[in-house]
Amino acid sequence: MFARKKRPVYCLKDSLPEARTWFESERGQYLLEAEKRVLHELLPRMFGHHASTLGVHPDASLLDHTHIVYKTFLTPLQEPAGPGSVCISPNEWGIQPRSMNMVLLHHALDFAGRPHRVLREACRAILPGGKLVVVGFNPRSLWNPARMLDRRAEGIMGRARFYQPRRIKDWLTLLNFRTTELRYGDGLFPVTCHLNPERLKTVESFVAATRLEMGAFYVLVAVKERSGLIPYDRRWRSTGNRLLGTTACRTGNMMNKSDGR
């Protein structure tokens, strides 16, 4: 009788321009700087030859603190191609499987229409032992109810999906990834936007000491596990005369001959 109104599904390509505009605002810049501080602590630990990033940030500068040589910026938009920029479909990456040492998804899952497929393509591109870094909005934060109340002013944030980090972990487990680190940042956003730097540092230290999972965003790091191989044994060679029915039949014939039948 009372049909629930279905929520429209927006793809990453449609939401990306508005999301970038929001991150250029005062609140967006504040949150982006907080995310960069966490990434600058984690990314220097990652090494290799190839890294790529997909998300709301308009370039590959989030990868500057890695020791990886070649950095690729992935985008679903038809925009001017810069150095290392590649236009792809978020659901079907035109990248060779197992070719990346690290992939960064910067709020790509929050605005994707099919987050499972985006995550699957990112995992497929990573070679065994490589790292996946996911930056997303935390539903257990003050930012989640605040953005819902302010939906008129910030429509793009009202359309964003806040996924539990535990849910992302479960998806990654099915894709043969193991989570190695999970961090939260800016626990009192957007209240802290108007604090001076000294008071902000005090508040962030207090929130970090409480170890509450209430940060406005999370940064999850997972590693792709190597597939275990079973050594081949010659005794496992399959032959036609070793079928169960054939063996049982021959055994029965031998017993009949021994009985003189």
Residue 249 predicted with pLDDT over 60: no
Got the DSSP string for 226-245? PPP-PPP-GGG---GGG-HH
The count of other CB atoms within 10 Å of the CB of residue 126 is: 26
Domain residue extents for the chain: 12-229
- Please indicate whether residue 10 or residue 228 has the higher confidence score (pLDDT): 10
Res 227: pLDDT: 65
- What tokens does 260 get? 């003189």
The least confident of 94-108, 113-127, 231-245 is: 231-245
| Confidence at residue 246, expressed as pLDDT on a 0 to 100 scale | 47
Average pLDDT over residues 43-70: 90
The residue that leads in pLDDT, 142 or 235, is 142
pLDDT of residue 14: 87
| CATH superfamily name and code, 12-229 | Vaccinia Virus protein VP39 (3.40.50.150)
Return the pLDDT at 182.
94
Question: What's at 84, amino acid-wise?
Answer: G
Using 50, 70 and 90 to split pLDDT, how confident is the model at 26? confident
Q: What is the pLDDT of residue 1?
A: 43
In this predicted model, what pLDDT tens digit does every residue of 180-217 receive, in sequence order?
A: 999 988 766 665 565 566 565 666 665 665 566 778 89
DSSP notation for 93-124: --S-TT-EEEEEEESHHHH-S-HHHHHHHHHH
User: Quick one: tokens of 259?
Assistant: 């009985």
Averaged pLDDT, 160-188: 90
Per-residue pLDDT, 251: 47
pLDDT bracket for residue 78 (50, 70, 90): confident
Mean pLDDT of 234-242: 53
Average the pLDDT over each of 48-62, 86-100, 195-209, 246-260 and give the range with the smallest value.
246-260
Residue 94 has pLDDT above 60, yes or no: yes
Q: How confident is the model at residue 244 (pLDDT cuts 50, 70, 90)?
A: very low
Strands (E), the chain: 50-55, 70-75, 85-87, 100-106, 126-137, 177-185, 217-224
Lowest-pLDDT choice from 76-85, 119-128, 142-151, 186-195: 186-195
Pick the range with the lowest mean pLDDT from 11-15, 17-21, 51-55. Answer: 11-15
Top pLDDT among 151 and 109 is at: 109
The answer to whether 200 touches 173, Cβ cutoff 8 Å, is no
pTM, to two decimals: 0.78
